Amino acid sequence: MSHMSSKITLVTASLPQRCHLLQEMLNSVSEQTVSPAEHLVIVNSDLAAPKLNRMIEMAETEYVVQVDDDDLLYPNHIATLVENLTADVVWTWCDVTGREWNPNRGYEKGRLKSENYIPSNCAIRKQAIVEAGGHRLSRHHDHDLLQRLEAMGASFKNVPVVTWNYRFGVSVNSSLHV
């Protein structure tokens, strides 16, 4: 991993029964060509929005990236985000494992009203999150936040490069290797 660190904080909330997934994700973070400035992790039986908001408040960087415990970052993920931090919300494309769906598409103003196509693993300017009121208690808190950011006039930038693996349906009893 590079000794150069970024202006990105990673935040991860994980459940105790998903520790093997968390370890796989942490391994992928350790292989980044550019290190995150910090990585805040909480393992708790309650993954409510207030816990994410607290981690975001603790972040000491301009941008925050929510990395789920079952995500796998490719070595260029953070470097690619850092090179493209010219908007309030910046995201890259991903490989998808375990689902017949793919969110890879560019930004289309207004589309967030009807479709959740920007994965939670995106860099969001911390101040924009605060101004939007942070994560709220809802089933899709990440989509809700993105909708509020768009309504506030936040800027969005998609980087059409695959830099991570978005995994679904990974068993808590077995590991998925990609």
Backbone angles phi, psi at 51, to 5 degrees: -70, -40
Query: For the whole model, what pTM was predicted?
Result: 0.90
Strand ranges, E, within 15-148: 38-43, 63-66, 72-73, 89-97, 123-125
Burial 79-106 (b: 16+ CB within 10 A, else e): bbbbebbebbbbbbbbebeeeeeeebee
Do residues 64 and 8 touch, judged by C-beta distance below 8 A?
yes
Backbone angles phi, psi at 166, to 5 degrees: -95, 105
pLDDT per residue over 40-49, tens digit each?
998 887 767 8
Backbone angles phi, psi at 112, to 5 degrees: -65, -20
Do residues 29 and 81 touch, judged by C-beta distance below 8 A?
no
The CB density around residue 159, as the number of other CB atoms within 10 Å, is 17
pLDDT per residue over 114-127, tens digit each?
999 999 899 999 99
Q: Is the pLDDT reported for residue 171 higher than 50? A: yes
Q: Is the pLDDT reported for residue 175 higher than 90? A: no
The CB density around residue 34, as the number of other CB atoms within 10 Å, is 21
Given this model, what pLDDT does residue 6 score?
79
pLDDT per residue over 127-156, tens digit each?
999 999 998 887 788 999 999 999 999 999
Given this model, what pLDDT does residue 46 score?
72
pLDDT per residue over 78-116, tens digit each?
999 999 999 999 999 999 999 888 999 999 999 999 999
Average pLDDT over every residue of 72-77:
98
Give the start-to-end residue ranges of the domains of the chain. 8-167
Nearest Cα to Cα of residue 164 among 65, 83, 62: 65
Mean pLDDT for the chain overall = 90
Given this model, what pLDDT does residue 62 score?
96
Q: What is the CATH number of domain 8-167?
A: 3.90.550.10
